[in-house]
Amino acid sequence: MRALTRYPAITATAVVLATVLVLQARGEPAAARWVATAWVAGFIVWTLVGMVRDVLRGHVGLDVLAVVAMVATLAVQEYVASLVIVLMLAGGEALEDFAARRARRDLTALLDRSPRTAHLLAGGDVPVDDVALGDVLLVRPGEIVPVDGVLLAAGTFDESSLTGESLPVGRGTGDEVLSGAVNGTRAVRLRAARRSSDSQYQQIVALVEAAQESRAPVVRLADRFAVPFTAVSLVLAGAAWVISGDPVRFAEVLVLATPCPLLIAAPVAFLSGLSRAAGLGVIMKGGTVVEQLARLRSAAFDKTGTLTQGRPDLVAVRPATGFAADDVLRLAASAEQYSSHVFADSVRRAAAARGLGLLAADDAEEVATRGVTARVGGRRVVVGKPAYVRSVAPDTSDAVLGPGQAAAYVAVDGRFAGVVVLADDPRPESAAVVSWLRANGVEHVTMLTGDARATAESVAGQVGIDDVRAELLPGEKVRIAAGLAPRPLMMVGDGVNDAPVLAASDVGVAMGARGATAAGDAADVVLLVDSLGRLVDAVSVGRHTLRTALSAIWLGIGLSIALMLVATTGAIPAVTGALVQELVDLATILYALRALGGPPSGLPAVRSP
């Protein structure tokens, strides 16, 4: 009953068709003709209204073929055929819904699993939106973690919905666990680190909703084929009529030219691609992104946190004359409490590892990609790049760094205090990803980074990039990205500072595993797994999806034209032709669902160890 009420046009057309068949069987052809004509005429008017709306939106209406076919079958008194055409067109909606639900399965699974309640340890169950920072929550075995939090006891979690990795992950006391992860076999307690709206899973849900609501470029794909396909169909039908001298032949040809393969199969392919990517831990914000990834010709990478691990380790503290190493590190870490740069976290971790307690900082101010200034214990501390520190401490001297090393320069009360030397190694998969891109049609690969040139060139040499643009401000990254060729250009980054250039690129890709909200909002693609190898998955899925969509279109067109050629001989009656065309629709939709299967075998699986 739910199916009957969900698709009233199908139900009503089936009833009308049954009525017409009964009237014909009882020897009342006139009544059958009027019933069929009235219903089909009403459907034609409804279809024409939809076509006008499409034209006003700037899209060519492929339904003109269906309208002409219905008018032609009525004109030659093929009433049953005209009703079958209406039934097939109305049935296309049900077929599309079925295929779309199948294509969206991974996207829908993410939405359905969105946490809705949380167990406060001292307050009972509350809606997840009411959880405040610092609340202690109980997560029972098998439950979904409702908000991002810090564990108060060790546990094991299934993070497959976040990362696509199927193996459970162990987390210790003090580790952060992200919302959307599924708790293991023992109850755990955690302290809320973010509100629901800021937590990782809610950000993923927002991305998925945007992807589902976006309109894939299938409209453009259909428009490219609409006019020539319509013209060829009408020419074949007209030629059949002229050659045979029988107007019935015109209708018999056109019933095989319904446009469902273009209107349904291609959208299903793009939805399948989006769903396939989500299952791999890659969220794409719509079908346009899929097409851009498929046609990719250039790629640009940020360095820190993208090509590198993003968690630099302390190599050395080199104090200037008059300063102690621990004092320099303590003051730098205290000032870096207010910085979002990945080096800031490394400096803080290094101070904690040495048992150095941080001091309270006042009047902190950060200049993006340059450094931070703060008043710590009554002293003015500046931490950042050499040029930034030299602007307040002219005696700043450049540090001698080894391959892959970087330095945070420190000034205290206008005097150069020393440098904190860090090393951020390239990701194990970075070189393989760059090599794969070059081998698969990406002609130009470059690095755009705000880091020092020596450090950038060292990392670039290790991963196979020869075009390095270093010491860039965010605005300079945007300007350089705008001039890079050939297009489309993909930019990959991970931090807040990368958001402008991600938004300005043809395809912006954010390494979103660490919850870089601004970068994720600006990007077109978010990699939920902290692995650059997922970039290979994203590009591969994009190319496979576009190939599948185009193949589905050509399959439908090819089968339709072949059948129309047969129909020009009179071998396919109108009613039979309408039924056969539905089989063509089904074949193209099933082919489009191949995009759910992912790229063809043989593509390398690039992963972090």
Q: Which helix (H) or strand (E) holds 367?
A: strand 361-367
Rounded mean pLDDT, 488-511: 82
Rounded mean pLDDT, 463-468: 94
SS (H, E, C) 371-432: EEEEEECCEEEEEECHHHHHCCCCCCCCCCCCCCEEEEEEEECCEEEEEEEEECCECCCHHH
Tell me the range of 322-336, 340-354, 571-585 where mean pLDDT is highest. 322-336
Band of the pLDDT at 569, cuts 50, 70, 90? Answer: very high
pLDDT at residue 172, rounded to an integer: 87
* Nearest one of 17, 75, 97 to 255, comparing CA atoms: 75
Rounded mean pLDDT, 466-482: 87
* Higher-pLDDT residue of 450, 374: 374
pLDDT at residue 256, rounded to an integer: 87
Q: Which helix (H) or strand (E) holds 446?
A: strand 444-448
Residue 471 reports pLDDT greater than 50: yes
CB 507 within 8 A of CB 533: no
Residue 476 reports pLDDT greater than 70: yes
* Higher-pLDDT residue of 489, 263: 489
Band of the pLDDT at 58, cuts 50, 70, 90? Answer: low
CB 478 within 8 A of CB 288: no
C-alpha to C-alpha distance for 109 and 77, rounded to whole angstroms: 49
Is 302 assigned a catalytic role? yes
Band of the pLDDT at 489, cuts 50, 70, 90? Answer: very high
Active-site hit among 106, 148, 302, 451: 302
pLDDT at residue 608, rounded to an integer: 41
The beta strands (E) that lie in 236-329 are given as 282-284, 298-301, 313-319
Tokens 């990719």 found at: 296
Residue 478 reports pLDDT greater than 80: yes
Q: Within 10 Å of residue 59's Cβ, how many Cβ atoms?
A: 15
* Nearest one of 311, 352, 355, 359 to 331, comparing CA atoms: 359
C-alpha to C-alpha distance for 34 and 216, rounded to whole angstroms: 41
Residue 452 reports pLDDT greater than 90: no
Question: Does residue 486 have a cis peptide bond before it, meaning omega lies within 30 degrees of 0?
Answer: yes
pLDDT at residue 380, rounded to an integer: 94
Residue 310 reports pLDDT greater than 60: yes
Chain-centroid distance, C-alpha 27? 59
Following CA atoms 448, 527, 310, 178 in sequence, which dihedral angle do they give, to the nearest 10 degrees?
A: 150
CB 220 within 8 A of CB 553: no
CB 324 within 8 A of CB 417: no
144: β partners: 182
Q: Measured between alpha carbons, how far is residue 121 from residues 125, 131, 195, 229, 367 in Å?
A: 9, 11, 16, 65, 40
pLDDT at residue 515, rounded to an integer: 45
Residue 607 reports pLDDT greater than 60: no
Lowest mean pLDDT among 105-119, 253-267, 529-543: 105-119
pLDDT at residue 56, rounded to an integer: 73
C-alpha to C-alpha distance for 274 and 276, rounded to whole angstroms: 6
**pLDDT tens for residues 140-167?**
888 889 898 999 988 888 876 665 555 6
pTM score above 0.85:
no
Structure tokens of 336?
């870096």
The whole-chain average pLDDT of the chain stands at: 82
Residue 508 reports pLDDT greater than 50: yes
C-alpha to C-alpha distance for 277 and 514, rounded to whole angstroms: 19
Following CA atoms 390, 396, 397, 398 in sequence, which dihedral angle do they give, to the nearest 10 degrees?
A: -40
Characterize the bridge pairing of strands 415-423 and 313-319: antiparallel
- With a CB cutoff of 8 Å and minimum separation 6, the contacts of 418 are 317, 318, 319, 320, 323, 325, 328, 410
Band of the pLDDT at 465, cuts 50, 70, 90? Answer: very high
pLDDT at residue 219, rounded to an integer: 47
Rounded mean pLDDT, 305-319: 87
pLDDT at residue 436, rounded to an integer: 94
C-alpha to C-alpha distance for 193 and 515, rounded to whole angstroms: 12
Rounded mean pLDDT, 95-99: 65
* Higher-pLDDT residue of 567, 108: 567
Q: What percent of the chain has pLDDT over 70?
A: 83
CB 481 within 8 A of CB 501: yes
Band of the pLDDT at 444, cuts 50, 70, 90? Answer: very high
